[in-house]
Structure 1
Amino acid sequence: MRTAVITVASSARREHLDRQRRMLAEVAGDIVRVEAWLDETLPDGIRDADTVTLHVPPGPHGFRVGEGRNRAAEAAMTAGAELLVFLDVDCLPGPDLLTGYRAAADARPGALLAGAVTYLASVQRPESASDLPFLTRPHRARPALPVGGTRAATPAEYDLFWSLSFAVTPATWNRIGGFHPGYEGYGAEDTDLGWTARARSVEMRWIGGADAYHQWHPVSSPPWQHLDDILRNGAAFFERWGEWPMGGWLEAFAAAGAIERRGDGWVRVR
């Protein structure tokens, strides 16, 4: 099954991307690698002969992550990919990530496939894919299945779709319609795609063994640097679906006195 690995990248994550590239070379055979760069201009020295490189510059409100993935998926399908594997720039492929997704796609070609994700600690800087199984500690928010195990997501579990690692066949991608282009900057595009898949009766399946490993970088909780993005994208999501996403973060911002509820919306407290 000819497989594309799709990554949206930026110069701020260059070190993460270099490590991902090295590990993909270890675990992958004949793949189509597609990178969509989101910076204002393409950084120097990022092209290589084995990669399809696209440039999707930011919109007025920030990076267009969903649109970058959409364009990369189109390029991958044009190149003949039979399976689209999306892997965020700060994620590393486990030794069985591609084989796990391929086996699941063979068995369930119409499903949205989601593997487990381990969040690495700051001191964990693996240099080889063979190091990764010893670091496996799947995030507790989502099901973790044994290698080769799969199960269908419940309707409520579509809220747990994370785009940092997932796979679909081209037919399923087209059925979902890709990411909604109305989100810029941080937040909501993942939940929107999961809800779109559910609304279009696309099965989502948890895939055991298709492990990805999120490389450490500094974060805050709640993500204060993304507050305005979360309010803007959350409002766009509400317009589409009648509910606000990222409820835990909104409540944390409200508890800190930064935002308040007004009618159906959330606004900054000035």
Structure 2
Amino acid sequence: MKTALITTVRREHDELLDQVGGISLGAVVPDFHVVIALADRAVTQGRLPITSDRWETLIDGLPTVKQQLPTARALHLGVTTALDAGAELLIFIEPTSIPDQHLVARFAERVQRGGHPRPVLWYAETGRLPPAGPGGYELARLSEHVRGQSQLLPPGVEEVYAQGAAFTSPCFAMTREDYVAAGGLCTDYVSGLGHDTDLATAVIGAGGDVVRVTGATAYQRHQPTTMPDKVTLASAATNATLYHQRWGRWPDVRWLTELVDANLVRLHEDGTCVVVSGAAELMAAR
């Protein structure tokens, strides 16, 4: 089964280099590492050392982007690139995530074993990392530094999501056939929010399952806490409204509920999510 690891990048160069380093530690590596650059010339012009003789690196890009990055559209471009190259298993991973050395192998063997109604969206366990030290992360020892709240499953335990509206993950996988059967990614989502929740909802709506794969771990780099700015708030409102238009309910995810609870965005009965007047200025003042 030919596999493709698909990511997007918008100036996350250190993160991308760590992702490549993580891939290189695997006994089983993807056949293709598909990198879609969002107006990032350093990537599209080949100025980063992200290639290897162990896999094929496929680079494409979207030449212009607005502040609300078209991440979902870029990931779908990555799918097209991967399928054209002959990929049968599509593994989506955020640029700030580092694959465990067993991730590709575990996804491939679990997908081939099957056992769930299709289409199936398989997702990785998430290992959250503390801040990196002065020399960066020790990629061969990431499992030793996973924070306790990551809640990795014990061997043999399998978790199936019941509601797609609550699903979000930095790394998930689908076969070529299941991706098509579920309708693929909705490319109208922006800034890396909502597309995974939407796809999981589509999978469950098509009679399939969303399944957590034990032993397939994506390590999430530490991200400093920042106040939401105008772009973040506008993206959240756009994506929440889009999800409601498509599915008739609100996504039940942290990125939305925290903004609602903080009275930064408001959900209206007509299915629109709007940014509260003065919210961005209030957050900036804080």
For the superposition of Structure 1 and Structure 2, which TM-score range results when normalised by the shorter chain? 0.7 to 0.9
User: Does the alignment pair 1:268 with 2:279?
Assistant: no
SS at match of 1:7: strand
Q: Say which of 142, 162, 165 aligns to 2:168.
A: 162
Helix, strand or coil: the match of 1:244?
A: coil
Alignment of 1:72 with 2:78, yes or no, is: yes
CA RMSD of aligned residues (A): 2.7
3-state SS of the aligned residue for 1:153?
A: strand
Question: In 2 relative to 1, CA 82–267 (structure 1 residues): closer, same or farther, beyond 3 Å?
Answer: closer
- Structure 1's 41 and 108: CA in aligned 2 closer, same or farther, altered over 3 A? same
Q: What secondary structure sits across from 1:92 in the alignment?
A: strand
User: Could you tell which deviates more after superposition, 56-65 or 245-254?
Assistant: 245-254
Q: Answer whether contact 2:127 2:152 (CA < 8 A) is retained.
A: no
In the alignment, which residue of structure 2 is the partner of 1:133? 143
Q: Structure 1 pair 139/103, CA: closer, same or farther in 2 (3 Å)?
A: farther
Q: Match for 1:253: what amino acid? A: L
Q: CA deviation at 1:218?
A: 2.3
How many Å apart are 1:190 and its aligned residue? 1.6
- Any unmatched runs of 5+ in structure 2? 278-286
Kindly provide the amino acid, as one letter, of the partner of residue 273 in structure 2: W
Instruction: Flag the 1:223–1:137 CA change in 2: closer, same or farther, 3 A.
Output: farther
SS at structure 1 position matched to 2:246: helix
Aligned to 2:13: 14
How many residues of Structure 1 are paired with residues of Structure 2 in the alignment? 264
% identity of equivalent residues:
23
Mapped to 2, the partners of 1:250 and 1:162 lie a distance apart of 12
| Match of residue 281 from structure 2 | none
Q: Select 1:191's aligned residue among 189, 197, 209.
A: 197
Give the direction of change, closer, same or farther, for the CA distance of 1:205–1:253 in structure 2 (3 Å limit). closer
What is the CA-CA distance between 1:115 and the residue it aligns to?
A: 1.4
Cα pair 2:122 2:212 within 8 Å, conserved: yes
What is the distance in 1 between the residues matched to 2:110 and 2:227? Answer: 34
Counterpart contact for 2:167–2:253, Cα < 8 Å? no
- Give 1:77-88 correspondences, 5 Å limit: 77-88=83-94
Q: 1:261 to 1:42 in 2, by over 3 A?
A: same
Give the equivalent residue in structure 2 for 1:26.
25
Distance of 2:253 and 2:159 partners within structure 1: 25
With the length of structure 1 as denominator, give the TM-score of the two structures: 0.85
Verify: 1:35 aligned to 2:45, yes or no. Answer: no
Q: Does 1:107 align with 2:113?
A: yes
Does 194-203 or 40-49 show the bigger shift?
40-49
CA distance in 2 between counterparts of 1:167 and 1:230 reads 24
Q: Does 1:146 align with 2:157?
A: no
Q: Which amino acid aligns with 1:174?
A: V
TM normalised by structure 2 equals 0.81
| Aligned-pair CA distance for 1:202 | 1.8
Amino acid across the alignment from 1:2: K
